[in-house]
Amino acid sequence: MDVPKKLNRSLKKLAAEGEEPVLIFPALLERFASEQMKAMVRIGMGEDVRIFSYMVVTDRNVHFISPGMLWDKVRSVPLDKVDGIEYVNEFHNNALKLKIGPAAEGIIFYDDLEGVRFFKHIKNYLESRKTKA
């Protein structure tokens, strides 16, 4: 897996806690993104597009990491708290909603194919959780 250098600090901390990355994508949490950030994401993955944050999926959590100079901001969602996932304005803004109980987190992907891969991963996880119960 190709790991951006900016994430090494956070990935080392996750590895120390026994979490190995399954998926890594550039993605924004919608509630923490400005209109300018969202617009830059909609432009697409060009060479000069600035990546503001990454989503790191492990076997236990989904982490949203915003790399910083001295420390990284990390927001985590335990996978066992996820109740569902759905597309929002499909083919318009690469956004998904991750349902967590009565709330939902909007996620905007830089690349729609990465959003599809994440959607399938969560759907498979939810299906496997149902069969275990």
What are 32-51's pLDDT values in tens digits?
888 877 777 776 655 567 78
Q: Are residues 40 and 49 in contact, defined by beta-carbon separation less than 8 angstroms?
A: yes
Single-letter amino acid, residue 3: V
Q: Are residues 93 and 111 in contact, defined by beta-carbon separation less than 8 angstroms?
A: no
Average pLDDT, the chain: 86
What does CATH list as the number for 5-132?
2.30.29.30
Measured between alpha carbons, how far is 125 from 77 in angstroms, rounded to an integer? 14
Single-letter amino acid, residue 123: K
Neighbours of 45 (CB within 10 A): 14
Q: Are residues 21 and 96 in contact, defined by beta-carbon separation less than 8 angstroms?
A: no
Single-letter amino acid, residue 66: S
pLDDT band at 92 (very low <50, low <70, confident <90, very high): low
Residue 54's SS3 state is strand
Over residues 6-35, mean pLDDT = 90
- pTM of the entire predicted model: 0.86
Please give the pLDDT value at position 38: 78
